[in-house]
Structure 1
Amino acid sequence: MKIAVCPGSFDPVTYGHLDIITRGAHVFDKVIVAVLHNRNKQPLFSVEERVGLLEEVTKHIDNVEIDSFNGLLVDYVAKSQANVIIRGLRAVSDFEYEMQAASINRKLKSEVETFFMMTNNQYSYLSSSIVKEVAKYNAPVADLVPDIVEKALQEKYRQK
């Protein structure tokens, strides 16, 4: 069984993320979408909220599982009995960072491969940061995120 891990902060999950997750699910037997606890970032949504949103928006994809992790990605990949990391690329600028990450991951665990997927062109500009910036000013994000995520964003910014 080919198991892949699709890691990220998913703060919040966007249609760009869902594109990569869905396409990855067509390539691999199982895709574990792993929400990173990143101590260097101040997320809008808690890890539990992000996991819940991901579970909701991927529930129609039978071979996708949602989880979260701390620490090194390659350690999580090994613990998950996976041997592939899925990474989406939006632009050339993403590639430089992702190549470095893939190289160090390969050095730490030589059996782990990184599978790069080009984002669908319609999502090439899309990032969680852009979505949060737009939503913060109460502008529509319905074309950027699923309905449940849009509602969660509205609620978060109403609370602030």
Structure 2
Amino acid sequence: MSNWPYKLATELDTPERIHGTINHGPDDDQLRLGLYCEEASHAGAPWFICSFMPNYGLLEATGDLQWTVSDMYPTGTSALISLAAVRQQLLVDDKPVPVDSRGIPKTEGRARTEGRGRWTFECQTCGRRNNYKTESFQEAVASLLRAGIKEISLAGLESMVKRTSK
């Protein structure tokens, strides 16, 4: 257990809309940064968006530590809460890769080797929405985790991305 004052201190603190989505798995103790929205219009009820975690596949393959998005949100008891998935768009040369009928990017040719993601983080309560290319939030997430931060608001992430962008 952590001393961090998590928005979801225990599984019992999960909002009604996500009850029953608690997972305890082998990755419960992974390094994660939770992302939520809690604008004044929320009346004290934050909207939980996603978490950032290391991309272990890339780390193993290349030795490069990059952060990726997860639909699991951490709690103070190390349980992970499943959330609705965040939307990702695959890009090659800053152009969207075509998708199939299910909306899944067609990863063939250059898209498989050169594609990179653009993520949309959106609050379903107030409509706030931030779009980032994968590389744009890397330094912000790393800096926050180095500082011991375990969760950040959508507005806070936007501020950190602006501060850490080159």
Same fold? TM cut 0.5: no
More relative contact order, 1 or 2 (CA 8 Å, 6+ apart): 1
Larger relative helix fraction: 1
Normalised to the residue count of structure 1, the TM-score between the two structures is 0.27
Normalised to the residue count of structure 2, the TM-score between the two structures is 0.26
Answer with 1 or 2: which has the greater Rg.
Answer: 2
Larger relative strand fraction: 2
